[in-house]
Structure 1
C-alpha cells in the first residue's frame, strides 16, 4: 500500500481540522466550490447570490462529520468535508481546491492527508460531466489503492432528473 503522506514537489500543502473560527473562510471557499460545480449542470445561484450550503452547517455541527481547511503556506487553498466517521465507510462528501492552486499537485497531496487521518473504507462521488474530476478521482484511487478499487454509477438521491453520480470505493490502511 502506498504511503499516503509521501510528498511530491510543489507548494507546501497542509490539511487541518477547520475550527468554528474558520467557518467564514470555509463559507467563502464553499461559494467558490459551488460556483465551479454550477457550470456542468447549468445551476444558477439563489436570488441572493448564494448556493445551497446545508453541508457547510452539517460539517461543523453534525456527529460523524469533519470539516478540513486546506492551506498552501498561510493561505486558504481549499476545503474537504468528511462524513460517515461513526460508520463502517467514510465518505469524502466535498473536496475543493481553488483554481490558483490546481495542476500543481495540491489536490493529490491534500486528499492523501485527509484519507490518512481516517483509515478504513472510503467512498467518493463525482460527476462524469466534469472531466477534470473524473481524471483526478481515478488517479487518486489508483495511487491510494493500486488495483484494489471499484467504480460504479448510483442515482442521485431525490434528484431523478440528474444523471447518476460515479462512486469510487477503496480502503486506506493504518
Structure 2
C-alpha cells in the first residue's frame, strides 16, 4: 500500500514551506534550464510567488503531504474570465525525489483535478521527458485517453488539454 496523500492549502503565514520546496524544484530544473545559484548558494526566487496569496480567488498554493510529512507542492491558477465552465492551469507541480514513483504525485494530481472541475492545461518543458511521461500517463488514465496534446509553436513545450 502506498503512502497516504493529502493536499493542504498553504496560508500566507506558512508560505515559506513553498519557498523552501521551490529551491529543490529549481534544483531539479537545472537539468533543463540555465539556472545558477547566487553567491549565498541559493537559487533564484520564484517570480510573483506572492500572487498566490494576494489573488486567492484565482491562484491556489498547495502543500502535498505523504504520510503527514511535506512531500511537494502544487500551484494552480484559474485562467478563465468567470464563465460557466472554469479553466485551470497547473502552474507548477513538484514531488520530492524520495516520494517519486510511489503514487504520491499521481494521487495529488487526481485530487487537484477532482477538486477543480473544469478545463485543464498542463505544460512541460520540451526537454523534460520524465515530466512528459508522468503527465501523459496520469492524464491518460484520468481521462481514459480523452485529452489533446499540443506543442507550442515557438518554444516547443508540450501541453495537455482535458476536462475534469
Q: TM-score range by the shorter chain?
A: 0.7 to 0.9
The answer to whether the 8 A contact 2:150-2:158 is kept is yes
- Segments of structure 2 that go 5 or more residues without pairing to the other structure are none
The answer to whether the 8 A contact 1:151-1:166 is kept is yes
Q: Give 1:52 shift.
A: 3.8
Partner of 2:149: 151
TM-score after normalising by structure 1: 0.83
CA distance in 1, matches of 2:157, 2:45: 18
- Segments of structure 1 that go 5 or more residues without pairing to the other structure are 1-8
Partner of 1:75: 69
CA distance in 1, matches of 2:14, 2:79: 21
The answer to whether the 8 A contact 1:67-1:79 is kept is yes
Partner of 2:115: 117
State the secondary structure of the residue aligned to 2:142: helix
Q: Which moved more, 1:47-56 or 1:59-68?
A: 47-56
Q: 1:59 aligns with which of 48, 52, 65?
A: 52
Q: Give 1:167 shift.
A: 0.5
Superposed CA RMSD in Å reads 1.7
The answer to whether the 8 A contact 2:122-2:159 is kept is yes
Partner of 1:171: 163
Q: Give 1:45 shift.
A: 3.0
The answer to whether the 8 A contact 1:65-1:85 is kept is no
Partner of 1:131: 129
Q: Give 1:50 shift.
A: 2.7
Partner of 1:27: 19
Q: Which moved more, 1:116-125 or 1:14-23?
A: 14-23
Q: Which has the higher contact order (CA 8 A, sep 6+)?
A: 1
State the secondary structure of the residue aligned to 1:34: helix
Q: Give 1:21 shift.
A: 2.7
